[in-house]
Structure 1
């Protein structure tokens, strides 16, 4: 690294986050290893690296850091005071609440799950219909128009953005 070394960056990261950190270094002195671990690294691995061992350490660290078995789906997704209620297939904004059809709900759920990212039309269609072969592309457009109309009725404008030739997004 040209200006700062891994010890510096590890210290900077640890000031703001507890993300897993693995040192992968050509430095091989015991002092470097001790310093890396004391700065907050989870592992210090010397080059050359056995890729199988590296992958095993990464997987173990991720398993320990992010206990996937304990993750629970939230009951509500929220973005800019728009609440999508997963248990009831409803959407609320301020004091207003609307009922959503199954397809409207699935479209909003996918877009809100991936807020800030473009979700392709194909991806949304796969969520809605497992077999796309019988689905007309216009069907998705009709569903988006219906959602936008429902959102406008309760005061939400420009919530779903069309990204021409790419898909849709909530930003």
Structure 2
């Protein structure tokens, strides 16, 4: 996967962080529909990829601060599994305003990469079976594709089974 030129999509804190780290990635801007019920499924359709390859970034409150769970958009975050992976007794979904303040991104465009403050991050183990995963590039209507190993490296993510399939 080759690094893209700056004109191939917006520069965001995520792309800046990846460029600084020397990580290869692809940029995938698309026309975002504000009325879409699911940003992640919208991204998968716009990119023409299986939703299991597109991952959403969800913030949780551990009681000691915020943390990040990254799971496929066609599934759900298992809060108990994420709490266990983080060494917490329980976690709850973070307040959206707190998530935006802490990450520097807007809800629907929160990237696991390039956040204002590095947060504990857990990447669902299903990502590791894929050659490329797609995550928000830091704006609604903009995803980035990169290897799961590179995503884990740049976010210092731990690997754990934190997602569950939706039937």
TM over 0.5: no
TM-score (norm 1): 0.22
* Structure possessing the higher radius of gyration over alpha carbons: 1
Structure with larger RCO (C-alpha < 8 A, sep 6+) = 2
Structure (1 or 2) with the greater strand fraction: 2
